[in-house]
Chain A
Amino acid sequence: MQAIFRAICALLVSSLVLTVACSSPSKPVAPPPSPYWGGDLTPVVSVKELMRDLIDPLSDNIFLSVGTRVSAAGVEEWAPKTDEDWNKVRTGAVAMAEASYLLKVPRPFAPPGDENNSKGPDAPELSPAQIKEKLEKDPVLWQAKVEALRNVGRQVLDIVERRDAGALEDAAENLDNACETCHLEFWYPGQVELMKRLGR
């Protein structure tokens, strides 16, 4: 009886193995889908051009949105009032929040042949190769600077949502700090020492 039971079990197990083996796909496992809609991201311009042609001009939508001019003509204060004014600030905020992530796409730091102001004994700026070396040595720092810029964009989006013109001055200062602290790390770090020498 026991022998018959063992034989039935062996038959069942064999059948199961055979079934699984025959139904398993022979083709390779498909790679996981890209987390991005567009697949790989391929840059068109360098970091320097991205800054000059996109991020820097649109940062002015935030920087210049509030201010005061004092002249013989009197005192002129300006801040966003109309929908058009606020939409312009919003454009700047979206650019900071989203275009900042383009800085995470590996790309040259300057166009071919552009070495920044990196020549001479007291060169004020790092060359593209020096910047690349710094980034590769500490990519987390680069990412943190990118996130700082993105955070200011998010802050300004919130200000736009609330139509809180009084908060724009501080946000503009935050934007300035986000830009400058990154530049002092990756673009012109020698400036810290220079300012000390000048007593500033």
Chain B
Amino acid sequence: MRRTLFALGVVLLAGAGQAYAHHSFAAEFDGTRPVTLTGTIVTVEWVNPHSMLWIDVRGAGGRSGQVGSERWGFELSPPNALMRRGLRRAMLQPGDRITIRAYPARDGRRFASVQALILATGRTVAMGPAGGRVSP
């Protein structure tokens, strides 16, 4: 029950729920309009079929987690796929600064499919196909 409530909460934070766990990338995300966002990690979920990441992006004059910041949600590859790309749980910790290149949701939510993570250490972790991943 606790998980369900939490999941409901983070879905609401992301803006809206998804009808399907599975979906085509192009139906949900705009591959022609990549965005780059820098912010502070709030929550990471290592879960199938999509790992999830939430960050606070500091808005004009605002501070992370306060008025003026925007919370964005991101869809990543499944946990095993992230591990194969060298990403470890210790690399994504709450409070860490991170820059994310991603493709935004078509419906205007603050939600996107990750193309690459640029960690605070400067290391770049390119995603395989994430939300719209291609079969191995």
Contact = CB atoms under 8 A, between A and B. Distances in A.
Given A52-B19, A170-B80, A194-B132, A63 B48 contact: yes
B49 A67 contact: no
A69 B135 contact: no
Given A170-B80, A172-B49, A176-B78, A70 B22 contact: no
Interface string B81-100: 10000000100111100000
A56 B21 CA distance: 7
A170 B84 CA distance: 13
A169 B80 contact: yes
Contacts of A180: 22, 133, 135
Nearest to A192: B134
B44 interface: yes
A87 interface: no
A124 to B, nearest CB: 3
Interface residues of A, number: 43
Contacts of B127: 200
- By size class, the interface of chain B is 35 or more
B120 interface: no
A70 B44 contact: yes
Given A64-B3, A175-B48, A194-B132, A188 B89 contact: no
A184 B19 CA distance: 18
Interface in B5-43: 6-7, 19-22, 24-27, 31, 42-43
A100 interface: no
B104 interface: no
A63 B47 contact: yes
A170 B126 CA distance: 22
Interface of A: 51-52, 56, 59-60, 62-64, 66-72, 75, 78, 117, 122, 124-125, 169-170, 172-173, 175-177, 179-181, 183-184, 187-188, 190-192, 194-195, 197-198, 200
Interface of B: 3, 6-7, 19-22, 24-27, 31, 42-49, 78-81, 89, 92-95, 103, 115, 126-130, 132-136
30 contacts: A51-B20, A64-B3, A64-B47, A64-B48, A69-B43, A69-B46, A69-B47, A70-B44, A70-B45, A71-B42, A72-B95, A124-B25, A124-B27, A169-B79, A169-B80, A172-B48, A173-B78, A176-B78, A180-B133, A184-B135, A187-B24, A188-B26, A191-B26, A191-B132, A194-B26, A195-B132, A200-B115, A200-B127, A200-B128, A200-B134
